[in-house]
Amino acid sequence: MIKTIESHNYETSSIPCLLYKAGFTSPIVLMPLPYGLSHPDSAPDWVAEGRLVPFSKAAEIQASTHSSAWHFIWQANRILFASQEKSLPLRSIPGGLQPIRSSIIGEFDGYLCHAHDIAPDTPAPEGYEWSGLRALFPVLDAGMVNLAGRSFQIMEWDRTHQFCGRCGTPTLLRNSERARECPNCSLVSYPRISPVVMGLVVRGHELLLARSPHFAPGMYSAVAGFIEIGESCEQALRREILEETGIHANHFRYFDTQPWPFPHSLMIAYTAEYVSGTPVPQPDEIEDVRWFSVDDLPTIPPTISVAGRLIRAVSQHLKAEPVV
């Protein structure tokens, strides 16, 4: 049985919102953010600021009057950048490169932004290098990472949906929206987005952090996992925390979201409160999990990621509170 509830203004209400979900014997509790818990170093919202106008329709591209262009050039999951400048995007396509496919993703500061796909094994032209986007985090600001990530997700979707998944017929781009349609059976495919929940469990002045085998040496982060079919964000969060760490948690507080183009995720971050259990890492998924004092944290993700912002914001908030 699922009980309906009235909506709350989470920015002003201090009343917990109880959601009784089917399959759980106790309520999932959604709490507003603690006052003063901010999102430091969040990526700028260039769409809201009017700097970025995303394109999804052919008519929008045709109506554009801008001739200046920026280019994001991809080879699978590697992007091309100038070796000397180490910056994005490129002002032109280097000579000798022939894109397999291209797409205009929008206008940014008066420039048309193009995404291009280059054939595998094509060497980088002289003065340029291929690189994974993560490796460029230290030299890019958060807004440019988001824009480059948008270009990658569009190219990845276009590359992997050239044929209909139902009948195998080559697909065609639709003029009315960013989608590919099968001319034979009319199946429409949209850019894929895979939602991921992230939970930072708090116990007093301690944070539950876990280490994945693919992390950089010594790095720990909040628990995260994909939402499964039929789950709400809160159900998935409770399940992932329990599966990966053996910890029961509740009192979920929404923090922030971030598109994460590796390859097409949307990260949805929460804080959570410890209920019970002892940390036990899930075999093959988690290398180590433990409680860390906010005064003695290990290496954590950079602030360009929502995980890094979440951990830092909660730590700063807890440090400002007296230890009870």
> What would the pLDDT profile of 172-199 be if each residue is shown by its tens digit?
999 888 999 999 999 999 999 999 999 9
For residue 50, the model assigns a pLDDT of 79
Beta-bridge partner residues of 82: 128
Range(s) of the domain holding residue 84: 52-160
Q: Enumerate residues 6+ apart whose C-beta is below 8 A from 137.
A: 145, 302, 304
**Shared domain check, 147 and 82:** yes
Measured distance CA(154)–CA(136) in Å, rounded: 19
Low-confidence ranges of the chain (pLDDT < 70): 1-43, 57-67, 323-324
Task: For residue 286, tell me if it sits in a domain.
Answer: yes
Global pTM reads: 0.83
**Shared domain check, 259 and 292:** yes
Measured distance CA(127)–CA(315) in Å, rounded: 43
**Shared domain check, 207 and 154:** no
Measured distance CA(71)–CA(108) in Å, rounded: 11
Residue 223's CATH number: 3.90.79.10
**Shared domain check, 24 and 69:** no
For residue 235, the model assigns a pLDDT of 97
Measured distance CA(147)–CA(74) in Å, rounded: 13
Task: For residue 182, tell me if it sits in a domain.
Answer: no
**Shared domain check, 219 and 138:** no
Q: Enumerate residues 6+ apart whose C-beta is below 8 A from 190.
A: 157, 177, 178, 179
Measured distance CA(68)–CA(195) in Å, rounded: 34
Task: For residue 27, tell me if it sits in a domain.
Answer: yes
For residue 18, the model assigns a pLDDT of 33
Query: Tokens standing for 118?
Result: 């280059």
